[in-house]
Amino acid sequence: MGVEYDWDITDRPHTKLKLRIYQEYVNAWLKIFSRQDWCKEVYIIDCFAGRGTYDESGIKDSVPGSPLIAINSSIELFKDPKLKKDFKINCIFIEKDEELLNHLKKLIESKTLDITKIHCELILGDFNSEIDSVLKSIGNTPALFLIDPTGIRDVKKESLIKIVNKRGAKDIFLNYMQTGVERISGLLLKYLSEQIAIPEPHKKTIQHLYDYFPPGIEEQLGKDESEILRFFADEILKKNKSEKENERLEVIKFPMPYPQKSDILYYLLFASRKAVAVNIVRDIFSKHLLNKDDSGQMSLFPKKQLKDIHRGFDV
């Protein structure tokens, strides 16, 4: 891991919110594909799976993390007696820390799973090294990717592009670490403006920024964060190989603020080529932006207000 990770989320409302958003979409995503006659199976790929749970208020493992959200949602789906018999859900969890992966493995083993319907594969390794084999095994089967690293250097540009260029349906949740980009951009701007050589300890960090944004990062320095984010989306998430407009990914964002601050900690990005998927996530984002609970009456809001809110998520 890039940094030692704290698994206690008692004072991290942004993490709790991210998990709620992810859970709501996983539920919707699974229902959509399970009702398609042509779809026999789907994949959920958690690229930085972690240990599977979080601690809260002194209670260990009390909050399901993203891997358990995927599994729990899958279990609930198969409780529907109307669900077609031949549908299958494949969950792939990638984690490079063996201790964390073993913790996750024990949690999964404690679940009662019908392995003919819910198949879990745990991969010990680095996301950037494993993504090629994962994508090869998936092929053009519909897939949902969660890319939620602990540090900006944990995800290489080429790894993201490989996912963007995956054949077939794919939806992507990505943690865009605004503070990390700001910090590295600030360092680069300082050295360029002062016309001094970049110190050795900072060379690798700044090179990571160049890897993501060549060419043109110098022109972005000092600009508004939304412009840099748009530049990132245009350079990577919207640049797939297809020349067809309907194959391009649409990207929207949700701002995750610091606790008790107005600054943005990171953006939760969602990318999909399907308008129905993007609209579902827009509604989920809207609900949480307005602090509505699961029964929030979004229909009570004027259409123009909803359109303005939805437009604010665009990248």
The pLDDT value given to residue 221: 65
Q: Read off the pLDDT of residues 62-75 as tens digits, 9 standing for 90 and up.
A: 999 999 999 999 99
pLDDT tens digits for range 224-267: 677 778 888 888 888 766 656 667 899 999 988 877 666 778 89
Distance CA 155, CA 126 (A): 10
CB neighbour list of residue 64: distance below 8 Å, 6 or more residues apart: 19, 52, 53, 54, 72
User: What is the model's pLDDT at position 3?
Assistant: 43
pLDDT digits (tens, 9 = 90+) for 118-143: 999 999 999 999 999 999 999 999 99
Q: Is the pLDDT of residue 271 over 70?
A: yes
Question: Residues 13, 17, 20, 26: is their CA dihedral positive or negative?
Answer: negative
pLDDT score, position 275: 93
Query: Is the pTM higher than 0.85?
Result: yes
What are the distances in angstroms from CA 158 to CA 32, 128, 310?
30, 8, 30
CATH of 13-176+238-311, one of 1.10.287, 3.30.70, 1.10.10, 3.40.50: 3.40.50
Lowest mean pLDDT among 42-56, 152-166, 202-216: 202-216
Q: What pLDDT, on the 0 to 100 scale, is given for residue 258?
A: 76
Question: pLDDT value at position 293?
Answer: 47
Q: Say if residue 45 is exposed, middle or buried (CB neighbours under 10 Å; 0-12, 13-18, 19+).
A: buried
Inter-residue contact 24 to 70 (CB < 8 Å):
no
pLDDT at position 184, please? Answer: 65
Cα(47)–Cα(233) distance, integer angstroms: 19
Q: What is the pLDDT of residue 300?
A: 43
Q: What is the mean pLDDT of residues 161-172?
A: 94
Q: How far is CA 71 from CA 110, 157, 175, in A?
A: 12, 29, 21
Classify residue 56 by its DSSP letter: E
Of 55, 51, 49, the residue nearest 8 (C-alpha): 55
Predicted local distance difference test score (pLDDT) of residue 304: 57
Give the least confident one: 4-8, 115-119, 182-186, 227-231. 182-186
Angle at 204 between CA 199 and CA 208, to 5 degrees: 130
The more confident residue out of 259 and 47 is: 47
Least confident stretch, 57-61, 127-131, 138-142, 177-181:
177-181
Question: Is residue 104 predicted with pLDDT exceeding 80?
Answer: yes
Find the DSSP H helices in 149-241. 157-164, 178-193, 200-212, 217-220, 225-232
Per-residue pLDDT at 295: 41
Nearest to residue 210, comparing CAs of 184, 243, 176?
Answer: 184
CA separation for the pair 56, 13 (Å, rounded): 11
Q: pLDDT digit string (tens) for 78-88?
A: 999 989 889 99
Task: Calculate mean pLDDT across residues 208-219.
Answer: 65
Q: What is the DSSP string of 88-119?
A: EEEEEEEES-HHHHHHHHHHHHTS---TTTEE
Beta-sheet strands, E only, within 233-292: 250-257, 264-272
What average pLDDT does the segment 40-56 reach?
97
Mean pLDDT (the chain, rounded): 85
Phi then psi for residue 188, to 5 deg, are -65, -45
Sign, CA dihedral 275-234-146-178, equals negative
Burial class (CB in 10 A: 0-12, 13-18, 19+), 200: exposed
More confident residue, 106 or 311: 106
The Cα–Cα gap between 248 and 5 comes to 34
Q: What are phi and psi of 152, to 5 degrees?
A: -65, -25
Q: Provide the residue ranges of all domains of the chain, joining segments of one domain with +.
A: 13-176+238-311, 178-224
